[in-house]
Amino acid sequence: MNGHPEVARPAEPDGASTGVPSSGPGSWWDLPTRQHLGVLAESVAALAGFEIAIINLRRGDEMEVVAASGPGVPAEMMGNRVPVSSFQADFDVADVWGAWRFVPHDRMPEGLLELSHVPDYVPLEGEDAWHPLDLLAAPIYDDCGVLRAVVSVDVPKDGRRPGPLQLAVLEKYAGVARTAALLALEPEELADRVRMATETRRIVRAALGEPTLDQVLDACRSAVVTCFDAVGMWVSVFHADGDATTAWYARNEGATPMFQEIDDVVIRSAHRYWAEGYVPDFSHGRMDHPHLPKEDAEALLRFLDGIGIGSVLFVPLGVGTECLGFLVLARVSDTPQWTQLEFDAALDIGHDLGLAVANARRLEQERAVVTRLRKLDQYRIELVNTVAHELRNPLTSITANLEFLKEETLSEDGVWSLAAAERGARRMEGVIDDLLTMARVSDPRAPFTPVPVDLRQVVLDVDEECRRTAVAGGVSATTLIPEGDLTVSGRRDELHRMLANLVSNAVKYSDDGGTVTVSLERDRAEVVVRVADEGLGISQEDQENLFREFFRSTNPEALNRPGSGLGLVIVDRIVRRHGGRVEVDSKLGQGTTFMVRLPAATAS
């Protein structure tokens, strides 16, 4: 037989193609390679006295027929591919003839017969007669013991199994074929590796978009391990506080090694090798590296032995001059050795992952700042709350005593002083109330259970409440309320307070004869409240600070009017709690319009 599956013709009775691409453009191998191997096959067939010689090269888990010489070999056999495992089955039952393996027809594994091409050939008589189902093939292994090619011969010209002379020629031929096959495989493999390294880098780069380092590693670790033909990898990241954390990823899930045992050695080495742009590999055969103390190298090897790793590639990670961690790619055996291509690719990936670590660090720091600011904010809220409560108690007693004094008969000066004290107490009450309200509406933990609130009603209530003050100041107040649904979702008391602050400001900062207009409008999914006045107006510069706590205008005319600088802060916090926003439009000396946009409770 043409020995074994590499000459396999399709199992279909009509001999049609097996479905895998045959020779020509479908073949993995370029024309010169196939031609070269073709000549080799032809010459061995001739020299060793066989009609047929066939060469298969391995690609992945398959073998492909790249050269077939001899009469009766079907042309479509070229390019046929079969699983490598089929060959293994042959060799398991074979006699060993030097580099060659002989499987007599009566030992041929059942399943393989189906795959095999059997030459149309009538055997001679006698024990050493060649049978059409006999197999004679030489497996070609690389330096690491991996089956990379198979050559086979079939149909001896004398019809007999080869004698010592023929075997000697065949032995030589196996050696030549090995060199030729491995040479043919080399450029293909190199191209493959370059493709893989490029692809892996692309995956690592794409993964850099992930928000955390863990997610970056999740997205690329499998590709990295596969690209480097490693069994696993670990990544250690140095944190700003000097700590290091290590993440382990192995193809076969197993116990995570105790990396802390070796932390000292590897952290020291990472800093050293990042500075030098050096990627060392460690194994029993490779422990001499610049600046690596012997005891460190030995400790590392002991550790690797302990976790069943025979060889590692140690890749420092960093950005600029700063080393931020390291990546270790691990192989069980110290063969194959790491190639130059792998060293280069590893260094590139080290730079990419270094960026990811730097990003993660920055985000970590930003998150820490945000947390600190939140805490500070919380502290301020609590402080304001406490101070306001502490002020309120004595103020209650002051106002109660002022009430008692009213019962007394006082001199004219006494009456005047009492009235002044009452005014002061009322202002103080106002400030305390503002402080408490501000603390409550600023506190994200404060309960907020929204209900439907009709803003029309809120406007009418506030209008009624402020009208007296407006009239007293010679300011006329108008409301413009359209038909239709003006409901928002929120807290009625807060919305009332928000609008009251805006309207009272509008009145307060208007002059005699001015007009304050409060209008409502439905604008698609929002309800818009506008409070417009024709008063003092606000300078552009002041507008930028309006919503800062205790901010009061720089305009002396506005400063003359009483205020705490908390009213607009309360407005802003309430509006934000309701999912809306406040805008201001103002010109100094001409008037101001505050516009509040709130999400409507119902679709328009």
**Residues making contact with ligand ADP (CB under 6 A):** 505-506, 509, 533, 535-536, 538, 546, 551-553, 558, 563-569, 592
- CB 532 to ligand ADP: min, Å: 9
Compute the least distance from the CB of residue 499 to ligand ADP, in Å. 13
- Helix, strand, or coil here: 353? helix
Give the 3-state DSSP-derived string for 138-196, with helices as H, strands as E and coil as C: EEEECCCCCEEEEEEEEEECCCECCCHHHHHHHHHHHHHHHHHHHHHHHHHHHHHHHHH
Question: Smallest distance, Å, CB 526 to ligand ADP?
Answer: 22
CB of 578 to ligand ADP, least distance (A): 18
How far is CA 457 from each of CA 452, 479, 492, rounded to the nearest angstrom?
A: 12, 12, 10
Question: Between residues 74 and 430, which has the closer beta carbon with respect to ligand ADP?
Answer: 430
- Rounded to a whole number of angstroms, the minimum distance from the CB of residue 535 to ligand ADP is 5
Apex 496 CA angle, 491 and 500, nearest 5: 155
Q: Within 10 A of 258 (CB to CB), how many other CB atoms are there?
A: 12
Q: Which is nearer to ligand ADP, 6 or 533 (CB)?
A: 533
Query: Among candidates 452, 467, 460, which has minimal Cα distance to 496?
Result: 460
Residue (134 or 534) nearer to ligand ADP, CB: 534
- As measured in angstroms, the least distance from the Cβ of 475 to ligand ADP is 11
Q: Which of 1, 142, 19, 174 is nearest to 81 (CA)?
A: 19
Nearer to ligand ADP (CB atom), residue 267 or residue 391: 391
Residue placing its CB nearer to ligand ADP in the complex, 312 or 531:
531
Q: Is the dihedral of CA 462, 463, 468, 473 positive or negative?
A: positive
Task: Report in angstroms the alpha-carbon separations of 195 from 134, 205, 330, 341.
Answer: 41, 15, 21, 11
Q: Cβ closer to ligand ADP: 181 or 536?
A: 536
Residue with smaller CB distance to ligand ADP, 357 or 569: 569
Measured from the CB of residue 473, what is the shortest distance to ligand ADP in angstroms? 13
In the complex, what is the shortest distance from the CB of residue 438 to ligand ADP, in angstroms, rounded to a whole number?
A: 10
**Local structure of 604: helix, strand or coil:** coil
Distance in Å, CB of 272 to ligand ADP, minimum: 60
Nearer to ligand ADP, 196 or 387 (CB): 387
Which is nearer to ligand ADP, 246 or 592 (by Cβ)?
592
Nearest-10 Cα torsion for 546, 550, 555, 560: 140
Q: Is 232 exposed, middle or buried (0-12, 13-18, 19+ CB in 10 A)?
A: buried
* Residue 547: CB minimum distance to ligand ADP, A: 8
Q: Which is nearer to ligand ADP, 296 or 533 (CB)?
A: 533
Whether the Cβ atoms of residue 123 and residue 19 lie closer than 8 Å to each other: no
Count the neighbouring beta carbons within 10 Å of the beta carbon of residue 92.
10
Q: How far is the CB of 517 from ligand ADP (least distance, A)?
A: 12
Distance, CA of 303 to CA of 287 (rounded, Å): 13
Which residues neighbour 66 within 8 Å (Cβ) at sequence distance 6 or greater?
27, 29, 33, 34, 37, 55, 56, 57, 78, 184
| Cβ-based nearer residue to ligand ADP, 538 or 601 | 538
Q: Dihedral sign, CA of 396, 401, 407, 410?
A: negative
Q: Which residues contact 300 (CB under 8 A, 6 or more apart)?
A: 262, 265, 266, 282, 287
What separation in angstroms does the CA of 459 have from each of 114, 217, 433, 484, 604? 92, 56, 22, 15, 20
Assign 3-class secondary structure to 504-549.
HHHHHCCCCCCEEEEEEEEECCEEEEEEEECCCCCCHHHHCCCCCC
Buried b (16+ CB within 10 A) or exposed e, 118-153: bbebeeeeeeeebbbbbbbbbbbebeeeeebbbbbb
C-alpha to C-alpha distance for 244 and 400, rounded to whole angstroms: 64
The least CB distance from residue 536 to ligand ADP, in Å, is: 5
Closest CB 401 distance from ligand ADP, rounded Å:
27
Q: Considering the complex, state which of residue 152 and residue 505 has its C-beta at the smaller distance from ligand ADP.
A: 505
Cβ proximity of 537 and 592 under 8 Å: yes
Question: Which residue number, 283 or 505, has a Cβ lying nearer to ligand ADP?
Answer: 505
- Cβ distance to ligand ADP smaller for residue 21 or 430: 430
**Measured from the CB of residue 463, what is the shortest distance to ligand ADP in angstroms?**
16
